[in-house]
Amino acid sequence: MSQALKLTVFGNPIAHSISPLVHSVFAAQTGIAVDYGRTKVEGDFAAAARAFFAAGGAGCNVTVPCKPDAFALVDRCTQSAEIAQVVNTIKREADGTLLGDNTDGRGLLTDLERLNAPLAGAHVLIVGAGGATRGIVPPLLEPRLGIAQITIVNRTVSKAEAIVADMAALKLGAPGQLNACAFTELKLNEPFSVIINATSLSLKGELPELPDALYSSARFAYDLFYTPQGCTVFTEHCQRHGIPAVYDGLGMLVGQAALSFALWTGVMPDIGAALAQVRAQLG
């Protein structure tokens, strides 16, 4: 019998992480044995990760605040990680070198497609310009999706502008497809059909300061944050404003985890089935 694959998630705080639950659902579904733990990083991430791999670790996920350190640690990166400049998944290759990937953006896109988000011709507003936004923007710029425009609005507008400049330097997206602005510059005469909350505000139970008219014109809203109940302050606010399709980020979490699992094992789990099980177990 082959040994269980030794995996973990690094971060701080980490006790709340549901990644072990998600991966146990994938393991049961695919018949691939995994031993997936949680590792709290209190000092040097690189030292903790090296010790894990030296002790037989096959792969790991990396969460806040270690993602930039993981990017610095790995020997080589996938294109997704290179573009995002942050790593959320590491695989130990057969020769002992470390491969870094960023599955957050593709995890979101997989979930948006599963939910039939109206992306073709959409005007998308992304609220926030942190590491999460860096991860999700590149897949949304894929020409096959046909998104008309993506605007990043952020309290610190220079961070949104830096993402736009970096994507332009990488020649991602059509000219003018991606732009940045401050909250005070949001154009109400140019309504957004899709709103994605990529700020950390839901974690604190707070809302981004968007004009009410902007919520009212949207057809689809998504919060990268999730709760066991499937609602956040942001999703509840969107529902109150009549947005017909509103989701929290549990599907993205399961989606990005599935892509990590596939990188380690070569087997892609069924995300929809796993999501239903994870939601039920959380409930």
Residue 68's SS3 state is helix
Contact range with ligand ATR by CB under 6 A, out of 73-81, 118-126, 130-138, 240-248 = 130-138
Distances from the Cα of 80 to the Cα of 85, 101, 103, angstroms: 8, 6, 7
Instruction: With contacts defined by CB under 6 A, name the span among 4-12, 148-156, 174-182, 255-263 that binds ligand ATR.
Output: 148-156
CB of 225 to ligand ATR, least distance (A): 9
Q: Does 155 bind ligand ATR (CB under 6 A)?
A: yes
* Per CB under 6 A, 219 contacts ligand ATR: no
Residue 211: count of CB within 10 angstroms of its CB: 10
**Binding of ligand ATR by 132 (CB under 6 A):** yes
Report if residue 130 touches ligand ATR, rule: CB under 6 A.
yes
Site string for ligand ATR, 161-200 (x = CB under 6 A): -------------------------------------xxx
Instruction: Find out whether 48 and 70 touch, Cβ atoms under 8 Å.
Output: no
Q: Considering only CA atoms, which of 160, 107, 152 is closest in space to residue 127?
A: 152
Among 182, 97, 172, CA closest to 140:
172
- Span interacting with ligand ATR, options 47-55, 149-157, 168-176, 270-278, rule CB under 6 A: 149-157
Active-site positions read 67
Is residue 128 involved in binding ligand ATR (CB under 6 A)?
Answer: yes
210 is a site residue for ligand ATR (CB under 6 A): no
The yes or no reply on residue 159 touching ligand ATR (CB under 6 A) is yes
Please identify, using beta-carbon distances, which residue of 102 and 277 lies nearer to ligand ATR. Answer: 102
Piece of 71-79, 129-137, 140-148, 236-244 that binds ligand ATR (CB under 6 A): 129-137
Q: How many residues sit in the footprint of ligand ATR (CB under 6 A)?
A: 15
Minimum separation from the CB atom of position 272 to ligand ATR (A): 25
Nearer to ligand ATR, 25 or 238 (CB): 238
| Least distance CB 145 / ligand ATR (angstroms) | 22
When asked if residue 154 is in the footprint of ligand ATR (CB under 6 A), the reply is yes
Which residues neighbour 23 within 8 Å (Cβ) at sequence distance 6 or greater?
Answer: 7, 34, 36, 257, 261
d(CA 153, CA 186): 8
d(CA 183, CA 208): 9
List, in sequence order, every residue forming a beta bridge with 59; answer none if it has no partner. Answer: 7, 91
Contact 225, 199 (CB under 8 A): no
Vertex 23 angle, CA 281 and 276, to 5°: 40
Which lies closer to ligand ATR via its Cβ, residue 6 or residue 104?
A: 104
Burial of 204 (0-12, 13-18, 19+ CB in 10 A): exposed
Residues engaged in binding ligand ATR (CB under 6 A): 128-133, 154-156, 159, 198-201, 208
